[in-house]
């Protein structure tokens, strides 16, 4: 196995396209190295993108949108106060990944490209309507996050492509997100279920925009459009929440595995969805007050 | 072909050869004979291999040695200043925060990273911070107390123990 | 945060101890906080090879052929071994002193012979110049299997048509002996009184069925060792284990070597909890070292630890208790089935013996079955066999309390075993402190603290025998009067401190003038394993006796120096005193003149320690259950235990807190999970969920001290008992928080949620 750590976009692209065997992007390595240790065949080339400046930035653009480098470790994302103010749900979702040690390395790009149905940051990215900037020698394309994972462990990226950064759209006022997950342990655990909710309210507290994404309840994270529609036009009253819960349940297509039964996943996803909606709503409403 | 790596280890420049697939943990333990850093799982799950890499707490089993070219690595062996123990080390001893001691090096490094960042953590903050460091012997009680005690000592106050009769 | 634990009970009369009961820093402390201490994987001899094990991917298969030729041909491979390289052990060599282990089984466990019995079963081992080469070589070993039907489930294994692990296994303990082989290795029966009559006199009978899953000791240090064989066959083994003499004896028997040819050098041990009371890698490393002529270093990875080393048994337990209306227990009966893993030998007998030991029940009949399944051979885990049986028993006691609307501690007090109570397994209790733990629990502020919604409080008790056994200690006095204590027992949790304290207390010298060494097998005489909560009791007794022998020698030497009769000399706080002439010589004075009085000063004590005092504990646990998700949070925990006498209270508390944490893990989330092919699904710490720091509250401890008169300082064992009550305490707390009782462990969120949901449906 060869290793390189290029510092420019062009060099990364070249390294990815010129490799003559299997090549892999190395970000934090928290998935990749753990899998090497358990016997996964190693590629002939590892391209470390942590030295690539554009993949390490977190910044708010003039239009209010955010760009987060795909190779930013969790600790940097969590430490970014401005990002946390606008996107508390995403910030918390990222923070839930692993331990402090894992946070020192794990990245958003790795979390997405590992393509696990249970990845914590992915539902939050989807509910945020985030896009990723995918780059290769052939140029650049922007893809909505929900289109990246095509099946467990597989993404829509070609071998010579990589994600350089994520774009989160500008925040409307009175809007906020939240992410909740269920794990048996308080920390160091993989989600049995995860729910991200991103809501926008009008000035009377009525929901005008709503996005919901579910983790660990299907082969890929679920962008639950039908469920999110139920919240539109409501102020999250009990009856709407009940319908929302039911619709979320309907949209779960979980499997039973070592971590949970399918039935439990469905039930608990509905519970988390209602709780996350409440948190997102209260956060957005607090914005009204301010 | 093996790669030649130079890095700072506990403030000293060191050099070694490694395979690209070799981890920092193995470089430390096998190439550099620094066996204070322990291996409990090799997959990021136990924290026994915790070290500081460029001022960030990481699992050395999840870092490739080739990534450490010119990096600043700090391990448990660098905690004490000569024969003066770091207050955390002393607090672990005074609070009997180790039984078998295999988790201790990783916990000390992790705890130091916490106190460098947050000199006055709450019990809950300590517990969440060290959640990536498994200890099977102690039930964590005395470890948490030791870290809170060391924090107090480092803030310049008397040890929790000295305050008790 | 809670206060330091309170000590309750009476001090031993006579002299007031000055060191015993204090909390000095452990002698090996500095090494362990600076990274200098050397554990199993920390030794490396120059020129050593790396060993690796080829393991079965199948749960049950016949080995048709093992082709090592390709691996052998790989450059850098220096030796390969299979079961062919192990001597065949004849039936008369199978046991030592008629005690387990059966060395034929152990031999077949370290390297499979003819058949593999579980996924991860070792088939071959390789030594190569480095790790990479060794792992490459593993991929080149070609084994042909005939895959057999497997059975990992306890009930299925007991069916008459179950796939058989051992074609010749005839159930022991049944007369007449069954004609057909089965997976039931033995049947054990324990009868006390007359249960039929007992139940006939009961007003209330409660019976339930319980299951528990295999759980691993999950020590953080994987098994590791290094072996070197000299040209004359002299063999050195460096390893972390719970007993260097065990490693020597087991390797000698497995490899058909004289004991004298093997020296085992103990390294620091990174946790064992019973799991390191047997050998896995050591005999392989010796064979590889012998074959290659080079030192060989071996270390398991975490997945190997889970798949190939002993968890404790999963169980099915069906129990029934009968009581009178006032709560008096009159009878208990049940069947306990324990998984042994691939070879016979689960701790089911100990389960039967401990289940109801805290109670005075006149009629008890328990039947135990030891059942083999296609899982790793079970190994000892802290109070082997007791936590599962106690879980079932303590749940029934709690249900009885609920039925009678009685306080659960009061119900236990009503039935508590006392001095003079004859146990169902035969022994009559003496000097026990069970009742005192109940009283202390009842008086503890925790017991009467208010609870919020969805919260519940559970209580449970537990019992462990504690053991003594062959133990040795040597004390050498240096010229400056400092002392070196050498014992043959690895220090897993601070026992060096306890040994130093007992020696210092007895000799009357300061603690920091005593050093403690753990000797290799050539440096100190035989001692049983570190396990069964025996070290502070039994080895402590040897240390104390050795110190007393030193004192006698000191008095004799002082008498020589003063030209008086030894009987005139007294030993007072580290000094020889001639009261009549107001003369005194300190230990250092006498040591400095040792040449004048007969040369170097040393003493040794080799004993078979008897009279271990049984240990009892009562725990209180508060939980909060999220009714919508089934998630259980442990809010508060208090462990009360009769410890006899706490030599170093911090390490006693530590044993209690550690045991509680392990018990909580067992109760809530730990379990071995298998797929349909009998392969383990969760052989790593991410999915085998031991508690992390943020899962637990502070664990409050109350040390009750009812001294054991058979020990010079009153010590009873403390290490095993604390893991017993948590299973029941957590289960009882969950039952009271939710109104729904779970009979199966672990009580993970999905299972708690399911139980709540089912109960709600039933109510509708
Ligand atoms: C102990 C432990 C606990 C964990 N806990 C959690 C958890 O709670 N929740 C959770 O979701 N995950 C968890 N994980 C998994 C992992 O940490 C996360 O998925 C993490 O975000 C991965 O990021 P990384 O940078 O380390 O990825 P890497 O390991 O560097 O990469 C993962 C995959 O993505 C590819 N890749 C990485 N970056 C890019 C890019 N920019 N463009 C294209 N391809 C890329 C790599 O080639 C590789 O295939 C845990 C892992 C460990 C070891
Ligand atoms: S050895 Fe690195 S986390 Fe366990
Ligand atoms: S002290 Fe043994 S694992 Fe922590």
Residues A114 and A200 in one domain: no
CA pair distance B105, B40, nearest whole angstrom: 12
* pLDDT computed for residue A88 by the predictor: 97
How many alpha carbons fall within 13 Å on the CB side of residue A247?
A: 19
Residues 6+ apart with CB under 8 A from A237: none
CA pair distance B31, B27, nearest whole angstrom: 5
Residues A124 and A55 in one domain: yes
What is each CA distance from C561 to C549, C554, C596, in whole angstroms? Answer: 18, 10, 8
Residue where the block lists tokens 């389960």: C351
Q: If DSSP codes are grouped into helix, strand and coil, which group holds residue A126? A: helix
Residues A66 and A203 in one domain: no
How does DSSP assign C497-509, residue by residue?
A: HHHHHHHHHHHT-
| Residue A109 Cβ contacting ligand 1 at under 6 Å | yes
Give the mutation target among A37, A76, A95, A110 for probing the ligand 1 site: most ligand atoms within 8 A of CB: A110
CA pair distance B27, B17, nearest whole angstrom: 8
Q: Please report which helix (H) or strand (E) contains residue C133, including its range.
A: helix C131-140
* pLDDT computed for residue C762 by the predictor: 87
Positions in chain C short of pLDDT 70: 1-16
* pLDDT computed for residue B161 by the predictor: 55
Query: Which residues in C647-659 are b (16+ Cβ under 10 Å) and which e?
Result: bbbbbbbbbbbbb
Q: Residue A64's domain is classified under what CATH number? A: 3.30.465.10
Q: If DSSP codes are grouped into helix, strand and coil, which group holds residue C157? A: helix
Count Cβ atoms within 10 A of the Cβ of residue A261 and give its class: 0-12 exposed, 13-18 middle, 19 or more buried: middle
Q: Residue A241's domain is classified under what CATH number? A: 3.30.390.50
Q: What are phi and psi of A216, to 5 degrees?
A: 70, 15
Strand ranges, E, within C149-261: 184-192, 204-212, 224-229, 235-239
Q: Please report which helix (H) or strand (E) contains residue A111, including its range.
A: helix A108-113
Residues A155 and A44 in one domain: yes
Say whether domain C468-609 belongs to CATH 3.30.365.10: yes
CA pair distance B79, A40, nearest whole angstrom: 36
| CB nearest C302 (choices: B43, B80, B135) | B43
* pLDDT computed for residue C530 by the predictor: 87
The answer to whether the Cβ–Cβ distance between B132 and A73 falls below 8 Å is no
Interval B11-29: pLDDT, tens: 999 999 999 999 999 999 9
| CB nearest A189 (choices: C629, C673, C689) | C689
Q: If DSSP codes are grouped into helix, strand and coil, which group holds residue B161? A: helix
User: Which range of residues forms the domain containing residue A160?
Assistant: 2-168
Q: If DSSP codes are grouped into helix, strand and coil, which group holds residue C762? A: helix
| CB nearest A184 (choices: C628, C685, C689) | C689
Q: CB contact, 8 Å: C689 with chain A?
A: yes
Give the mutation target among C220, C490, C655 for probing the ligand 3 site: most ligand atoms within 8 A of CB: C220
* pLDDT computed for residue C533 by the predictor: 81
* pLDDT computed for residue B136 by the predictor: 98
Q: Which two tokens stand for residue B93?
A: 């001893």
The domain ranges of chain B are 2-78, 87-156
Interval C330-374: pLDDT, tens: 999 999 999 999 999 999 999 999 999 999 999 999 999 999 999
Q: Which two tokens stand for residue C666?
A: 């067992």
Residue where the block lists tokens 């999915």: C687
Q: CB contact, 8 Å: A188 with chain C?
A: yes
State in Å: Cα B53 to ligand 2 middle: 15
Q: Please report which helix (H) or strand (E) contains residue B6, including its range.
A: strand B3-9
How does DSSP assign A265-286, residue by residue?
A: HHHHHHHHHHHHHHHHHHHHHH
What is each CA distance from C107 to C112, C265, C279, C363, C377, in whole angstroms? Answer: 8, 22, 10, 41, 12
Angle, alpha carbons C721-C726-C732 (nearest 5°)? 135
| CB nearest A105 (choices: B47, B58, B114) | B58
Residues A45 and A183 in one domain: no
Cβ atoms of C463 and C242 closer than 8 Å: no
| Residue A119 Cβ contacting ligand 1 at under 6 Å | yes
Nearest of C689, C640, C685 to residue C668 by alpha carbon:
C689
Query: Which residues in C168-196 are b (16+ Cβ under 10 Å) and which e?
Result: ebebebeeeeeeeebbbbbbbebebbebe
Residues A85 and A220 in one domain: no
Q: Which two tokens stand for residue C644?
A: 């006899």
Q: Would you give the distance in Å from CA C99 to the centre of its chain?
A: 18
Q: If DSSP codes are grouped into helix, strand and coil, which group holds residue C325? A: coil
Angle, alpha carbons B112-B118-B120 (nearest 5°)? 105
Q: What is the maximum span of chain B, computed from C-alpha positions, in angstroms?
A: 62
Q: CB contact, 8 Å: B122 with chain C?
A: no
Sign of the CA dihedral C162, C168, C169, C170? Answer: positive
* Phi-psi region at C120: left, alpha or beta (left = phi > 0; alpha = psi -120 to 50): left
CA pair distance C298, C224, nearest whole angstrom: 6
Q: Which two tokens stand for residue C273?
A: 């909890």
Cβ atoms of B68 and B8 closer than 8 Å: no
Residues of C with a catalytic annotation lie at 720
* pLDDT computed for residue C532 by the predictor: 77
Nearest of C716, C11, C8 to residue C430 by alpha carbon:
C716
The answer to whether the Cβ–Cβ distance between A38 and B43 falls below 8 Å is yes
The answer to whether the Cβ–Cβ distance between C682 and A260 falls below 8 Å is no
Query: Which residues in A192-228 are b (16+ Cβ under 10 Å) and which e?
Result: bbbbbbbbbbeeeeebebbbbbbbbbbbbbbbbeebb
- Domains in chain A: how many in total? 2
Q: CB contact, 8 Å: B163 with chain C?
A: no
- Residues of A near B (Cβ–Cβ under 8 Å) read 1-3, 5, 26, 28-30, 33-34, 36-38, 42, 46, 48, 50, 73, 75, 98-102, 104-105, 186-188
CA pair distance C77, C75, nearest whole angstrom: 6
Tell the CATH topology of B87-156: DNA polymerase; domain 1 (1.10.150)
* pLDDT category of residue B83 using cuts at 50, 70 and 90: confident
Q: CB contact, 8 Å: C650 with chain B?
A: yes
Residues A117 and A221 in one domain: no
Q: Supply the CATH classification number for the domain B2-78.
A: 3.10.20.30
- Determine the distance in angstroms separating the CA of B54 from the nearest CA of chain C, rounded to an integer: 21
In the stretch 506-545 of chain C, residues with CB closer than 8 A to chain B read none
Nearest of C461, C464, C316 to residue C401 by alpha carbon:
C461
Residues A144 and A276 in one domain: no
Q: Which chain B positions have a beta carbon within 8 Å of A101's beta carbon?
A: 44, 47, 50, 57-59, 62, 110, 132
Tell the CATH topology of C1-11+431-464+613-764: Aldehyde Oxidoreductase; domain 4 (3.30.365)
* pLDDT category of residue B162 using cuts at 50, 70 and 90: low
Cβ atoms of C728 and C398 closer than 8 Å: yes
| pLDDT (mean) for A138-162 | 97
| pLDDT (mean) for B61-73 | 98
The domain ranges of chain C are 1-11+431-464+613-764, 468-609
Nearest of C519, C508, C436 to residue C473 by alpha carbon:
C519
Ligand 3: residue whose CA is nearest its atom 3: B135
Residues A42 and A157 in one domain: yes
* pLDDT computed for residue C764 by the predictor: 76
Cβ atoms of C617 and C437 closer than 8 Å: yes
Nearest of C223, C277, C263, C237 to residue C534 by alpha carbon:
C277
Q: Which two tokens stand for residue C229?
A: 């064989």
Q: Which two tokens stand for residue B61?
A: 């089993």
Ligand 3: residue whose CA is nearest its atom 4: B135
| pLDDT (mean) for A4-11 | 97
């Amino acid at each position: 196995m060869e290793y390189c750590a290029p510092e420019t976009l062009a060099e990364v692209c070249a390294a990815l396209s010129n490799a003559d065997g299997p090549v892999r992007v190395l970000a934090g390595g928290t998935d990749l190295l753990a899998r090497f240790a358990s016997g996964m065949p190693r590629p002939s080339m590892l391209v470390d993108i942590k030295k690539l400046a554009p993949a390490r930035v977190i910044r708010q653009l003039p239009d209010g949108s955010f760009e987060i480098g795909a190779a930013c470790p969790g600790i940097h994302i969590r430490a970014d106060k401005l990002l946390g103010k606008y996107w508390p749900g995403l910030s918390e979702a990222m923070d839930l990944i692993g331990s402090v040690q894992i946070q020192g390395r794990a990245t958003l790009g790795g979390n997405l490209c590992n393509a696990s149905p249970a990845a914590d940051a992915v539902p939050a990215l989807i509910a945020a309507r985030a896009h990723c900037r995918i780059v290769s020698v052939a140029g650049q394309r922007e893809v909505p996050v929900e289109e990246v994972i095509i099946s467990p462990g597989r993404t829509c990226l070609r071998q010579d492509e990589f994600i350089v950064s994520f774009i989160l759209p500008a925040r409307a006022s009175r809007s906020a997100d939240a992410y909740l997950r269920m794990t048996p342990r308080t920390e160091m655990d993989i989600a049995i279920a995860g729910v991200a909710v991103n809501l926008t309210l009008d000035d009377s507290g009525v929901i005008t925009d709503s996005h919901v994404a579910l983790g660990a309840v299907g082969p890929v994270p679920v962008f639950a459009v039908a469920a999110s529609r139920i919240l539109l036009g409501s102020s999250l009253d009990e009856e709407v929440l009940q319908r929302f819960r039911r619709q979320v349940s309907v949209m779960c297509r979980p499997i039973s595995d070592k971590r949970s039964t399918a039935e439990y996943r469905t039930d608990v996803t509905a519970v988390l969805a209602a709780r996350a909606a409440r948190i997102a709503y209260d956060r957005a409403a607090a914005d009204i007050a301010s | 072909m093996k790669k030649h790596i130079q890095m700072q280890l506990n403030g000293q420049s060191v050099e070694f050869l490694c395979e690209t697939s070799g981890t920092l943990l193995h470089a430390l333990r096998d190439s550099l004979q620094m066996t204070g850093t322990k291996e409990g799982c090799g997959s990021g799950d136990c924290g026994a291999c915790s070290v500081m890499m460029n001022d960030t707490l990481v699992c050395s089993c999840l870092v490739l040695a080739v990534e450490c070219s010119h990096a600043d690595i700090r391990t448990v062996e660098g905690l004490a200043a000569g024969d003066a123990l770091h207050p955390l080390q002393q607090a672990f001893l005074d609070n009997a925060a180790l039984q078998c001691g295999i988790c201790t090096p990783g916990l000390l490094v992790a705890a130091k990273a916490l106190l460098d960042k947050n000199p006055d953590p709450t019990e809950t903050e300590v517990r969440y911070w060290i959640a990536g460091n498994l200890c099977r012997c102690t039930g964590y009680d005395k470890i948490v107390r030791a870290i809170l005690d060391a924090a107090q000592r480092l803030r310049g106050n008397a040890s929790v123990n000295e305050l008790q009769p | 945060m809670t206060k330091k634990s309170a000590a309750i009970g009476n001090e031993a009369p006579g002299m007031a101890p000055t060191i015993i009961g204090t909390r000095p820093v452990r002698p090996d402390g500095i090494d362990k906080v600076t990274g200098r201490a050397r554990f199993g994987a920390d030794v490396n001899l120059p020129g050593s090879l790396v060993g690796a094990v080829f393991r079965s991917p199948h749960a049950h298969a016949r080995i048709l052929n093992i082709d090592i030729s390709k691996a052998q041909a790989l450059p850098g491979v220096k030796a390969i071994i299979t079961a062919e390289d192990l001597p065949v052990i004849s039936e008369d060599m199978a046991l030592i002193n008629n005690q387990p282990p059966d060395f034929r089984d152990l031999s077949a466990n370290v390297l499979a012979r003819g058949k593999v019995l579980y996924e991860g079963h070792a088939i071959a081992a390789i030594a190569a110049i480095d790790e990479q080469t060794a792992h490459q070589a593993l991929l080149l070993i070609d084994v042909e299997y005939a895959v057999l039907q497997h059975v990992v489930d306890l009930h299925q294994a007991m069916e008459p048509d179950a796939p058989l692990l051992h074609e010749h296994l005839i159930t022991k303990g049944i007369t007449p002996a069954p004609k057909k082989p089965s997976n039931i290795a033995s049947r054990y029966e324990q009868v006390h009184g007359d249960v039929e009559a007992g139940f006939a006199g009961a007003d209330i009978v409660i019976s339930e069925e319980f299951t528990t899953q295999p759980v691993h000791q999950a020590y953080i240090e994987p098994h590791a060792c290094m072996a070197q064989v000299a040209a004359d066959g002299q063999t050195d083994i460096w390893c972390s284990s719970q007993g260097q003499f065990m490693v020597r004896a087991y390797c000698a028997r497995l490899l058909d070597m004289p004991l004298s040819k093997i020296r085992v050098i103990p390294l620091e041990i990174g946790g064992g909890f019973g799991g390191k009371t047997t050998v896995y890698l050591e005999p392989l490393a010796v064979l590889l070292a012998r074959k290659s002529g080079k030192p060989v270093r071996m270390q398991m990875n975490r997945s190997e630890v889970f798949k190939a080393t002993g968890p404790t048994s999963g169980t099915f337990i069906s129990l029934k208790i009968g009581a009178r209306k006032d709560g008096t227990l009159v009878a208990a009966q049940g069947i306990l089935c324990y998984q042994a893993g691939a070879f016979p030998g689960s701790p089911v007998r100990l389960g039967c013996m401990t289940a109801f030991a805290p109670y005075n029940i006149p009629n008890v009949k328990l039947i135990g079955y030891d059942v083999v399944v296609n899982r790793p051979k079970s190994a000892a885990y802290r109070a082997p066999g007791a936590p599962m049986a106690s879980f079932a028993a303590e749940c029934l006691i709690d249900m009885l309390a609920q039925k009678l609307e009685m306080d659960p501690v009061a119900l236990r007090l009503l039935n508590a075993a006392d001095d003079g109570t004859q146990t169902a397994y035969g022994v009559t209790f003496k000097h026990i402190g069970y009742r005192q733990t109940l009283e202390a629990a009842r008086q503890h502020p925790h017991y009467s603290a208010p609870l919020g919604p969805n919260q519940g409080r559970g209580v449970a008790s537990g019992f462990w025998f504690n053991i003594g056994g062959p133990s040795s200690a040597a004390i050498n006095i240096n010229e400056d009067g400092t002392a070196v204590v050498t014992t043959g027992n690895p220090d897993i949790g601070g026992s060096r401190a306890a040994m130093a304290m007992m020696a210092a207390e007895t000799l009357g010298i300061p603690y920091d003038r005593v050093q403690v060494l753990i000797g290799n097998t050539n440096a100190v005489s035989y001692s049983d394993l570190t396990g069964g909560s025996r070290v502070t009791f039994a080895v402590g007794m040897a240390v104390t006796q050795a110190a007393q022998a030193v004192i006698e020698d000191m008095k004799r030497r002082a008498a020589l120096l003063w030209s008086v009769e030894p009987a005139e000399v007294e030993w007072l706080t580290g000094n020889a005193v001639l009261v009549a002439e107001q003369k005194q010589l300190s230990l250092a004075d006498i040591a400095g003149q040792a040449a004048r009085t007969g040369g170097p000063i040393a003493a040794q004590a080799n004993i078979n320690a008897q009279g271990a005092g049984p240990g009892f504990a009562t725990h209180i646990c508060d939980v909060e259950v999220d009714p919508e998700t089934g998630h259980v949070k442990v809010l508060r925990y208090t462990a009360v235990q009769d410890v006899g006498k706490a030599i170093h209270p911090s390490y006693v508390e530590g044993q209690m807190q550690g045991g509680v944490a392990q018990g909580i893990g067992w109760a809530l989330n730990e379990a071995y999970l298998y797929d349909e092919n009998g392969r383990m699904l969760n052989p790593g710490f991410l999915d085998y969920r031991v508690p992390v720091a943020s899962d637990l509250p502070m664990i409050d401890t109350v040390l009750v001290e009812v001294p054991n008169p058979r020990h010079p300082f009153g010590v009873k064992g403390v290490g095993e008992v604390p893991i017993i009550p948590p299973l029941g305490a957590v289960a009882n707390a969950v039952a009271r928080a939710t109104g729904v009782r779970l009979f199966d462990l672990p009580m993970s969120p999905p299972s708690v949620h399911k139980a709540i949901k089912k109960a709600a449906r039933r109510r509708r």
